[in-house]
A and B are shown apart, each in its own frame.
Chain A
């Protein structure tokens, strides 16, 4: 298993440009999520999905869109990039657990985005 993969690893954008960060997992996990990580802010949840066709907002959804057309893929779209979106973005997935499933999240390696 490749686990959770993310592309690209690095990206530089100009203000106003749009782009899609790709995320894929091969573990047949239902739950997927996108975080951003900023110094001193920890991990902040952007969007998440509990299964194909279902998405919902996290703490900081503004300026981002997601879709979940398949179980494997969960792309994150920046509609019009702003310098405030300079960050490291992590995708994570969580499988179905047992009665006391412990919700272990598996993370991708991250995408380092700079918006000029």
Chain B
């Protein structure tokens, strides 16, 4: 079945460091891909998305490119800030018929030190 695999955390970086959080997926057809972010004590919120191969999603300095050939959707940011400390979830939507379920990765915790 469909699945999402994220790199395990926690990830600890210094401010202004480069961030990569790896995400790979297994799915049939043409899923949509998402990154969600969860700040401490809050619910999840959509960070960025990509709906077809080679699409690049971007928001708040974060980027991820939908790579069908490598079945990947890695999250990157060139210069992280303390305020980026959060848990990041990769997810896919099978886009099969009326299926609204999301398939979730386990999340990667990021801590950014000043």
Binding site for B on A (CB under 8 A): 4, 31, 33, 40-43, 45, 48, 50, 90, 92, 94, 100-105, 107-110
- Whether A50 touches B100, Cβ cut-off 8 Å, given contacts A100-B51, A100-B52, is yes
- Whether A110 touches B43, Cβ cut-off 8 Å, given contacts A94-B100, A103-B32, is yes
Q: How far is the CB of A60 from chain B (nearest CB, A)?
A: 13
Looking at chain B, what size class is its interface with the partner chain?
Answer: 20 to 34
Classify the secondary structure of B's interface with A: loop
- Whether A45 touches B107, Cβ cut-off 8 Å, given contacts A104-B49, A107-B45, is no
- Whether A42 touches B49, Cβ cut-off 8 Å, given contacts A103-B93, A103-B100, is no
Q: How far is the CB of A79 from chain B (nearest CB, A)?
A: 24
B29-43 near A? 1/0 per residue, CB < 8 Å: 000101000000011
Shortest Cβ-Cβ A-B pairs, 3 listed: A107-B43, A42-B106, A103-B93
Which of A4, A50, A94, A103 counts the most chain B CB atoms within 10 A? A103
Neighbouring B residues of A48 by C-beta, 8 Å: 100-101
Tell me, in angstroms, the Cα distance from A28 to B34 when the chains sit together: 22
Q: How far is the CB of B4 from chain A (nearest CB, A)?
A: 9
Are B89 and A31 in contact, with the CB atoms below 8 A? Answer: no
Neighbouring B residues of A109 by C-beta, 8 Å: 42-43
Kindly report which residue of chain A lies nearest to residue B4, judged by CB atoms.
Answer: A42
